[in-house]
């Protein structure tokens, strides 16, 4: 593809990266490779200056294009207003749910989390084998001792509050490991309804599975339904 | 204080939050407009298109999977809509507009010589590139998109992104040469 002088120096692939290096969008590893090559290859460095020139003029050109009038915004909201009213959807992407949830932390919620953590400790200690949780908005939890179903005909459903420090990657790993998926939530108190895709398991296996999920560091609190 | 992330705004939009929609629009509409304008080369069409782009965001927010940045998603929607518009427009209309919008620097050497500033010539050459080449140069240089993100927006393999960028720059160098600027590359 590139018939440049520095091809012989083995910098053909590096030259292809110069535009992204100038724009600052390379990975650290690639940026370091480019920097090393630029220090030792004067021709490559000269071409990098050309790239920077192009970048500067492209920015200049775009910045002189102006902005749309308010007509575009008016038109957008007229169309939005014409749409049917929307009820809150529960099928939001996991990452967005988590980021929304974390972004929405308030001192009140954090205090609430502490109470939930205490409940989780009780669960992990095996004091209660299962907890039925109903989100009641600002009224808090209602709990009741209740064992899991005898068998899991349609999968096992649990309520989970993820550890606020858990990243989306942690949560995804948790879900994959346990063959689970989020089917509802988060509630105002940050609880997700999670389905574990197992069927026909005896009670003892379900209890073991729930315990395994409770022990995961990603989970702040988990209770079977 | 940290601004609300684009991902959080999208989640709120999915729940029907109009204010979140306004914030997202305020944050990104100018860049989306410029991206579209460079493709369709018509102010009025570009304005119509950004309304359509953000309306799609309103409608599809719940299906946003967060695998890419929100700006990458926005530009992908914008690109699709701009290309659809270009396909619908009669060829003659497009050609006429392009002829009006672009002055080929090689058409009038006398006038080109009058343009003393090298940067001005460079900008003219950038404008005269084909839509495909303009698009990739804008995405990389102005919209600061990585190889992977450009691949996602344009719908081509990553290696093709690098190749296309190379040829876009090569074409630019040829136009500069025709306009009297020899850069010694390629």
| pLDDT at residue number B114 | 52
Categorize the per-residue pLDDT at A151 as very low, low, confident or very high, splitting at 50, 70 and 90: very low
Helix (H) / strand (E) element for B30: namely helix B18-40
- Quick: pLDDT tens for A101-116: 555 544 444 444 433 4
Share the mean pLDDT of chain A: 71
**What pLDDT sits at residue A56?**
94
Confidence (pLDDT) at A140: 30
**Between A and B, how many CB-CB pairs are < 8 A?**
150
To the nearest whole Å, the CA of B14 is away from the closest chain A CA by 7
Question: Mean pLDDT across the stretch B135-163?
Answer: 96
Average pLDDT over residues A57-67: 94
Residue A54, pLDDT > 90, answer: yes
Q: Which of A25, A53, A85 sits opposite B122 (nearest CB)?
A: A53
Using pLDDT thresholds of 50, 70 and 90, give the confidence band for residue A144. very low
Which tokens belong to B152? 């996602």
Task: Give the model's confidence band at A51: pLDDT under 50 very low, under 70 low, under 90 confident, else very high.
Answer: very high
d(CA A95, CA B66): 7
Q: Is the pLDDT of residue A206 over 70?
A: yes
Which of B66, B71, B139, B159 best probes binding to A when mutated, by most A CB atoms within 10 angstroms?
B66
Q: What was the pLDDT predicted at B168?
A: 97
Compute, in degrees rounded to 10, the torsion defined by CA atoms A193, A197, A200, A206: -60
Mean pLDDT of B96-110: 48
Instruction: Dump the DSSP string for B45-97.
Output: HHHHHHHHHHHHHHHHGGG--SSS-HHHHHHHHHHHHHHHHHHHS-HHHHHHH
A69 → chain B, closest CA residue: B47
> What is the average per-residue pLDDT within A178-187?
76
Rounded to 5°, angle at Cα A182 from A180 and A187: 140
The mean pLDDT of A134-154, rounded to a whole number, is 38
Q: Are the C-beta atoms of residues A59 and B142 closer than 8 Å to each other?
A: yes
Structure confidence at residue A131 (pLDDT): 35
Least confident of A151-160, B30-39, B50-59: A151-160
- Give me the pLDDT at residue A84, please: 75
Mutate to test the interface with B, among A11, A20, A55 (most CBs of B within 10 A): A20
The more confidently predicted of residues B3 and B98 is B3
Q: Does pLDDT of B112 surpass 60?
A: no
Assign B180 to helix, strand or coil: coil
Structural fold of domain B1-101: Rna Polymerase Sigma Factor; Chain: A (1.10.1740)
Round to whole Å and give the CA distance between B94 and B164: 23
Q: How large is the average pLDDT for residues A81-85?
A: 83
Convert chain A into a string of H (helix), E (strand) and C (coil). CCCCHHHHHCCHHHHHHHHHHHHCCCCHHHHHHHHHHHHHCHHHHHHHHHHHHHHHHHHHHHHCCCCCCHHHHHHHHHHHHHCCCCCCCCCCCHHHHHHHHHHCCCHHHHHHHHHHHHHHHHHHCCCCCCECCCCCHHHCCCCCECCCCCECCCCEEEEEEECCCCCHHHHHHHHHHCCEEEEECCCCCCCEEEEECCCCCEHHHHHHHHHHHHCCCCEEEEEEC
Q: What is the pLDDT of residue A213?
A: 83
pLDDT at residue number A100? 57
Average pLDDT over residues B118-135: 93
At a CB cut-off of 8 Å and minimum separation 6, what does B11 contact?
Answer: A92, A93, A96, A97, A99, A100, B61
Optimal mutation site among A17, A19, A42, interface B, most CBs of chain B within 10 A = A19
Are residues A98 and B74 in contact, defined by beta-carbon separation less than 8 angstroms? Answer: no
Tokens of B155: 């719908």
pLDDT of B115 above 70: no
Q: Quick one: closest CA in A to B141, which residue?
A: A55
Chain B CB within 8 Å of residue A84 CB: no
Phi then psi for residue A199, to 5 deg, are: -135, 150
What pLDDT score was predicted for residue A153? 56
Rounded to an integer, the average pLDDT of B9-25 is 93
Task: Give the Cα separation of B186 and B181 in Å (integer).
Answer: 13
Cα-to-chain-centroid distance, residue B137: 8
Higher pLDDT, A95 or A203: A203
Return the bridge partners of A180, or none: A196
CA of B7 vs chain A CAs: smallest distance (Å): 6
Boundaries of every domain in chain B: 1-101, 105-186
DSSP B99-148: HHH---TTT-HHHHHH---HHHHHHHHHHHS-HHHHHHHIIIIIS---HH
Confidence at residue A3, expressed as pLDDT on a 0 to 100 scale:
47
Exposed (0-12), middle (13-18) or buried (19+): which is B160, by Cβ within 10 Å?
middle
Q: Poorest-confidence range of A184-188, B56-60, B106-110, B115-119?
A: B106-110
* Out of A144-153, A216-225, B103-112, B130-139, least confident range: A144-153
Cα dist. B136→A67, A81, B151 in Å? 21, 35, 10
| pLDDT score, position A127 | 37
Is A31 touching B (CB cutoff 8 A)?
A: no
Hey, do B1-101 and B105-186 end up sharing a CATH topology, with the first three levels equal? no
pLDDT higher for A21 or A123? A21
Q: Which fold has domain B105-186?
A: Arc Repressor Mutant, subunit A (1.10.10)
pLDDT band at B94 (very low <50, low <70, confident <90, very high): very low
Q: What is the average per-residue pLDDT within B1-12?
A: 82
List chain B residues with CB under 8 Å of A61: 123, 126-127
Range of A84-93, A96-105, B45-54 with top mean pLDDT: B45-54
Asked whether the predicted pLDDT for residue B109 surpasses 90, the reply is: no
Residue range B159-163: mean pLDDT, rounded: 96
Q: Which two tokens stand for residue B49?
A: 């298109």
Cα A84 to Cα A87, A119, B59, B131: the distances in Å are: 9, 41, 11, 37
What are the residue ranges spanned by the domains of chain A? 5-63, 94-224
d(CA B10, CA B4): 10
Q: Average pLDDT of A186-196? A: 72
Cβ-defined contact of B162 to A17 (cutoff 8 Å): yes
Beta bridge partner(s), residue A190: none
CA distance A96 to A180: 18
Per-residue pLDDT at A163: 73
**CB-CB contact of B25 with A76 (8 Å):** yes
**Mean pLDDT in residue range A119-127:** 40
DSSP three-state, residue B172? helix
Tokens in use for A115?
A: 């109470």
Which pLDDT band, with edges at 50, 70 and 90, does A208 fall under?
confident
Q: Quick one: which of A63, A96, A111 has its CA closest to B5?
A: A96
């Amino acid at each position: 593809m590139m018939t440049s002088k520095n091809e012989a120096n083995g910098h053909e692939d590096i030259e292809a990266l110069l535009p992204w290096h100038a724009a600052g969008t390379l990975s650290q590893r690639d940026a370091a490779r480019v920097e090393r090559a630029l220090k030792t290859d004067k021709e490559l460095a000269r071409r990098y200056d050309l790239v920077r020139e192009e970048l500067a003029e492209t920015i200049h050109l775009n910045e002189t294009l102006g902005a749309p009038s308010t007509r575009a915004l008016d038109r957008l909201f007229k169309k939005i207003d014409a749409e049917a009213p929307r009820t809150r959807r529960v099928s939001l992407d996991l990452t967005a749910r988590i980021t929304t949830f974390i972004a929405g932390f308030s001192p009140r919620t954090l205090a609430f989390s502490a109470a939930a953590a205490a409940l989780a400790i009780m669960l992990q200690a095996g004091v209660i084998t299962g907890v039925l949780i109903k989100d009641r908005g600002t009224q808090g939890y209602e709990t009741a001792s209740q064992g899991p179903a005898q068998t899991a005909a349609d999968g096992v459903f649990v309520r989970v509050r993820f550890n606020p420090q858990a990243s989306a990657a942690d949560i995804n790993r948790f879900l994959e490991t346990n063959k689970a998926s989020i089917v509802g939530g988060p509630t105002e108190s940050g609880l997700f309804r999670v389905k574990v895709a197992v069927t026909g398991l005896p009670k003892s296996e379900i209890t073991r599975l729930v315990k395994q999920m409770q022990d995961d560091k990603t989970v702040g609190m988990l209770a079977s339904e | 204080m940290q601004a609300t992330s684009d991902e959080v705004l999208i989640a709120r939009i999915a729940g029907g939050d109009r204010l979140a929609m306004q914030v997202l629009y305020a944050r990104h509409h100018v860049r989306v407009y410029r991206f579209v304008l460079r493709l369709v080369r018509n102010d009025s069409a570009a304005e119509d298109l950004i309304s359509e782009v953000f309306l799609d965001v309103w409608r599809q927010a719940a299906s946003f999977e967060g695998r890419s940045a929100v700006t990458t998603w926005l530009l992908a929607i914008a690109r699709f809509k701009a290309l659809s518009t270009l396909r619908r427009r009669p060829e003659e209309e497009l050609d006429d507009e392009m002829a009006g919008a672009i002055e080929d620097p090689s058409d009038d050497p006398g006038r080109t010589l009058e343009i003393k500033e090298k940067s001005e010539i460079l900008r003219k050459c950038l404008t005269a590139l084909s839509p495909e080449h303009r698009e990739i140069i804008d995405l990389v240089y102005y919209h600061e998109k990585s190889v992977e993100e450009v691949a996602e927006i344009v719908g081509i393999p990553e290696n093709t992104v690098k190749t296309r960028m190379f040829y876009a720059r090569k074409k630019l160098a040829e136009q500069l040469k025709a306009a009297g600027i020899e850069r010694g590359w390629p």
